[in-house]
Structure 1
């Protein structure tokens, strides 16, 4: 995974947001937590994470996005505390 992330032109923050979207799409709470944490470490803001998830609404559906936002906020809340 690390070799693939380093091999292309995308920045770490973008890669984590892409992976966050995939985690949300498969409804994996643990993976959403992990990729939110990694996105924050890569420099993403809470607003960018929320926007990335909200942009999935027409693709994965509102209920799935709401669940992912809740899982994201679990991590964001701890990071801001």
Structure 2
């Protein structure tokens, strides 16, 4: 995946704190390599966590990555809908909005 849709604040973080970014990347890879889930499931789980945290950037990123790893748009939407009873209606509606914006974006993402 390319860096075209990375927020400027994150790109500046990478420039300003390369050692910390590298350490965080190593941690993320280590966690990923030790979990029992395939990439698709891993991204759907991370999407659910991002929805619950109301983390717009993380929702968008994990939607893109889940779709890239074979999740369907319906599965991605289902993750947001599952948040209704745990995280609340406003959280779910916000997440669905972010999901739809990513889904509607040009396919060259």
Alignment of 1:56 with 2:83, yes or no, is yes
Relative to structure 1, the CA distance from residue 79 to residue 15 in structure 2 (aligned partners, 3 Å threshold; closer, same or farther) is farther
**Higher normalized contact order (CA 8 Å, seq sep 6+, divided by chain length):** 1
More helix, by proportion = 1
CA-based RMSD of the aligned residues comes to 1.4
1:15 aligns with 2:42: yes
CA distance in 2, matches of 1:75, 1:40: 10
Give the TM-score of the pair, scaled to structure 2.
Answer: 0.69
CA distance in 1, matches of 2:29, 2:106: 24
Normalising by structure 1, we get a TM-score of 0.91
Instruction: Give the Cα separation in 2 of the matches to 1:69 and 1:58.
Output: 15
Q: Which runs of 5+ in 1 are unaligned?
A: none
Structure number with larger C-alpha Rg:
2
Residues paired across the two proteins, number: 81
